[in-house]
Chains A and B, each alone.
Chain A
Amino acid sequence: MKAIMGLECHVNLLSKSKLFCSSPTDYENYEPNEATCVTCLGYPGSKPVLNKKIVESALMVAKALNCEISPVMFFSRKSYFYPDMPKDFQITQYEIPIAKNGHLVINGKKIRIRRIQIEEDPGKLIHVGGGITNAQYVLIDYNRAGMPLIEVVTEPDFENVQEVREFLSKLQSILEHLEVYDPGKEASLRIDSNISLEGGERVEVKNITGFADVEKALSYEIVRQQNLVRMGMKIERETRHFDEATKTTAMVRKKETEEDYGYIFEPDLPQFTLPEKLIKSIDKQMPELPDARVKRFTKEYVIPENQSQIIVYTEKALADFFEACVKLFNKPGYISRWIVTDLLKVLNWNDITIKKSKVTPKLFTEFLKTMDKGEITERLGKELIKELVPAGKSVKELVKAKGISAKIDLESVVKQVIKENKKAVEDYKLGNEKAVQFLIGQVLRKTKATGDPNKIKELIKKLV
């Protein structure tokens, strides 16, 4: 049974102030309910004023996702009664979203974007002593209320979890390249997904935060539905909530009780037309996007395309890191190979991003240069990088800490080994190739694996 999936991606857009007021967005630096004002708390008499920066950011995203842009800005009220909403309605875009009918291509497949809308974030509920269904009491933090969001809604074009992952990875990379989004911020990307098996009813799964959980939630839901079908049971149209703790989904409501949001036009925000000049200026502001960057990397730096893709789509900071490294050490192929094979592995192992790690382009290129000169072996390099990433120390310091000198006088070591292994030297003289390997091994042991084996071999030949 084929699965069909569509996504609603809620992205927190970067801005100094919230969507409709001047409260700060760096709410993590505030006590609960302190990063608020009368507007984002919905006090009687307060009114919203639209943050223009967010409109510009949303327009950039719309362009990057190949959307038709609506020149008319128009907001609606979506009513639903829940304590995380200070006004018990959300200001969103319903009738006229800022953009629609776009697409994003992943691995040659077009994922259609139905619409992009600007809306405000609700506050955060903290369920104490249980989950959403059985908490003893609930605390509310409105610091997040009124944070600027865009919702990117796709058509149900995904057939498997792999496609969803690739889409989200690319979307995230685009958002980063547009500099409208910070993947490091708490809950900066939240997903609702519609999942159905071919011919079955549609199930909506809400409240999925972050990449790893998207895969878990969708995989869980697909298996759950497949099991129902296998057992001969019907899949019902319903809304399910993803539980972060157990990584499972639980039913919150059936179709019959689905909410009616009673949309009205937002009367506090008059409709207005975006000046043509503004829309045009957005074109000029558009930076190089990930796809173009991958092409450029492949061509300009002559590196394999799959390496360009990994470097660009993993994180914008990694692509920036790569280019900074190339500037310091003009061997792009060497750099990209080490990033893709070893650096990423170590970053993943430490569960950090390049941005948060202590590796700088300077440290990394010095490390590569040391290897390139043959001062340390690649084998040692693979060991040292495991320490370089978390410690952020220079290769010299690391080598020193291991009790070896980076600049070892290989010649004297080889002389010593020749003196100590007369039998092997004799064998070598008689033309035994194995003996030379033994001698090289002895040199490497003494130098704690620094030094290029080829160089050692040459030295042995010369000195015997």
Chain B
Amino acid sequence: MKLEKLSVKEFLSRARSGDIDVEDFTEHVLDNTKSIQKKYSPFITIVDKIQHPKKKGKLFGLPISVKDNICTKGIQTTAGSRVLEGYIPPFSATSVENAIEEGSVIIGKTAMDEFGFGTFSVNCAYGVPKNPLDSERSCGGSSGGASCITSDADFPHVALAESTGGSISCPAAFTGTVGLTPTYGLVSRWGLVDYANSLDKIGCIGKEVYDVALSLSIIAGNDPKDSTSLNVPKQDYTKFLKKDIRGMKIGVPKEYFGYVDDKIVKVVWDAIKKLEDLGATYKEVSLPHTKYALPSYYIIAVSEASTNLAKYAGMRYGLQQELKGNFDEYFSSVRSNGFGEEAKRRIILGTFARMAGYRDAYYLKALKVRTKMIDDFKKAFKQFDVLAAPTMPVVAPRFDEIEKLSPIENYMMDILTVAPNLAGIPMVSVPAGKVNGLPVGLHLMGDHLQEGRILQVASAFEKAG
């Protein structure tokens, strides 16, 4: 059977009607996945056998990939780290359970920067995913494998991904896909391997706005197993995609254009003008605390990360070594071998930032700045429905360019995505155009729980072509 290039929407309706033999179809998808893996290595694990759906749910037969930091019962979950090599979780994340319950099938676990520590998916213990648009270039990170497979798959597919500081928006922008990061707490984190718990959000990457809107409708919802899960009713986000955007007020934060490649600035302004053509109005707005977003994000993220990574010691799960020396020596040895360079860097930075004597100046200060950042956004959303900006300051860089970046230059790449991530507001990156043949993302940000609104704008923009 030839795999037809079907949209998710079309596929689901044909699968449900029985027009497509789902079992046969997904077996072919698996073959196709393996050939993509050979070219671009988006996966850490590809399943041996498809678990076919038991009932006809809303995602009946839809192939999904799952970022490797989201636990999947019975399928190796490493969070991209050697230290969890061979770890088979005894339970699935709530988001995965929801997707399976609605009939989707897991094809594999996607590559990522170790524990999410990176912007280009080059801090990978199991192979670096390559951008299908130019295999010399990065897919973005840390959900690089997710954007890679979404971009290259010629079969209907949605990727479950995760963002802490921009790990969904960035790879979506670099690969010309749609990346949706929901409000913090909208999707349960039960089963998500922690990077920075107060920032981590499970979201999705798809080829079209409809794909992420539909997926969010399935994975969102209150979960008593996650105390930070919001108590909001489930809803169908695809219903927002039919609405036009006449009268919609768009804010353009001027601080978001400073460090950005001129050509990208132009593409994004063209996109904003297009939104105006569609009936929206726009105005510039200032988010004055933006410049503090990057340091405060990194301090909070590494502080939390350094505590989260303490438990990986080669004793309870994951990597094990021959027992030698006393337990301190053994744990140190496993951690030395199991963690990559960036993980070690963040453990050291994070431990420093929360130590007595530095804690007030770094960790506690960063938390205060975070509150200011939220105030900035809250003020802006009194005036505007949506904020629009470039997703990334550059297009997908070449691997040899990435190698030359210092850690600070590397962290600077997150300058546009960390503020909305710190504030926990929803954001979607949609393809806005190209620079030198490489995709540019338009970043649409909304107030807490206004996923509907940003998806509405994204969809209108997508339809306008």
Contacts and interface: CB of A to CB of B under 8 A. Distances in A.
Given A79-B306, A79-B354, 4 more contacts: A45-B77, A49-B227, A89-B307, A270-B228
17 contacts: A44-B87, A44-B89, A45-B193, A49-B224, A79-B354, A81-B310, A83-B327, A86-B311, A88-B307, A89-B307, A262-B351, A262-B354, A262-B356, A262-B359, A263-B359, A269-B227, A270-B228
The 5 closest A-B pairs by CB, nearest first: A88-B310, A267-B197, A267-B198, A262-B354, A45-B71
B291 interface: no
B79 interface: yes
B194 interface: yes
A179 B196 CA distance: 39
Interface string B186-229: 00011111101110000000000000000000000000111110
Contacts of B224: 49
A90 to B, nearest CB: 11
A268 B227 contact: yes
Interface in A240-291: 260, 262-265, 267-270
A268 B225 CA distance: 11
Interface string B288-299: 000000000000
Given A260-B356, A264-B304, A45 B191 contact: yes
Contacts of B71: 44-45
Interface in A67-109: 77, 79, 81, 83, 86-89
A270 B226 CA distance: 10
Nearest to A49: B227
A144 to B, nearest CB: 15
A43 interface: yes
Contact of A43 (B226, B317, B356): B317
B66 to A, nearest CB: 12
A262 B356 CA distance: 6
Interface in B332-364: 351, 354-356, 359, 363
B435 interface: no
A50 interface: yes
Nearest to A95: B364
A44 B193 contact: yes
B461 interface: no
Contact of A50 (B70, B227, B355): B227
A42 B316 contact: yes
B334 to A, nearest CB: 12
Interface string A40-57: 011111111110000000
A228 interface: no
Interface residues of A, number: 29
Contact of A47 (B79, B189, B311, B316): B189
B84 interface: yes
Given A83-B327, A138-B327, A270-B228, A45 B89 contact: yes
Contact of A263 (B311, B316, B354): B354
Given A38-B90, A264-B304, A264-B363, A44 B84 contact: yes
B331 interface: yes
A29 B316 CA distance: 23
A265 B228 CA distance: 13
A43 B228 CA distance: 18
B311 A87 contact: yes
Contacts of A38: 90-91
Interface residues of B, number: 43
A228 B7 CA distance: 82
B192 A45 contact: yes
Contacts of A86: 311, 316
Interface in B299-321: 303-304, 306-307, 310-311, 313, 315-317
B50 interface: no
B272 to A, nearest CB: 35
A83 B84 CA distance: 18
B327 to A, nearest CB: 6
B367 interface: yes
B93 interface: yes
A48 B197 CA distance: 12
A301 B306 CA distance: 62
B197 A81 contact: no
B91 A45 contact: yes
A264 B307 contact: yes
Contacts of B367: 265
A45 B69 CA distance: 8
Interface in A23-47: 38, 41-47
A87 B363 contact: no
B297 to A, nearest CB: 14
Q: Which of A49, A262, A263, A265 has the most CB of B within 10 A?
A: A262
Contacts of A264: 303-304, 307, 354, 363
Contacts of A138: 327
A44 B79 contact: yes
Given A49-B224, A264-B363, A265-B367, A41 B316 contact: yes
B155 to A, nearest CB: 28
B313 A88 contact: yes
A358 B266 CA distance: 89
A45 B198 contact: no
Contacts of A262: 306-307, 351, 354-356, 359
A252 to B, nearest CB: 14
A81 to B, nearest CB: 6
